[in-house]
Amino acid sequence: MADVNFQVADAHNKVFDVVFSRNGKNMTAICSCSAGVNDVCQHRINILSGSAKGIISRNADEVRKVASWVAGTDVGKALQDVLEYAKRLENATEDFNSARKRLVKALRD
């Protein structure tokens, strides 16, 4: 079993512990932030996606190692789905805002 621990800070400089473990094809990730308790937090998504954003521990270079663990696990497929739907949501939000602006303009003509 392999473990990697990171410390991350949020926008308010509150520090959280993030622990990644891989044992064969099983991967787990735990974060001590409030979102990490019952949901998925951006800290884990960032690291799983290969980003060192927010990491304050001296092992940010291990992000690549953790990101490489994702392939071949159930986490990999689930992460891919979350990232795909997040992009769709972002695009839909942009389309919605554009449509609202067109409606506002049309209502003022």
What does the pLDDT look like over 17-74, one tens digit per residue?
Answer: 999 999 988 999 999 998 888 888 999 999 999 999 999 999 999 999 999 999 988 8
Nearest-angstrom CA–CA distance, 98 and 104: 10
pLDDT of residue 8: 97
Rounded to a whole number of angstroms, the distance between the first and last alpha carbons of the chain is: 66
Per-residue pLDDT at 72: 87
Other C-beta atoms within 10 Å of 100: how many? 10
Paired residues of 7 in beta bridges: 17
pLDDT (0 to 100) of residue 37 = 81
* Cβ atoms of residues 63 and 50 within 8 Å: yes
**Mean pLDDT, rounded, of the chain:** 93
Q: Where exactly are the structural domains of the chain?
A: 2-108
Contact 47, 63 (CB under 8 A): yes
pLDDT above 80 for 1: no
Query: Mind listing the pLDDT tens digit for each residue in 59-81?
Result: 999 999 999 999 988 899 899 99
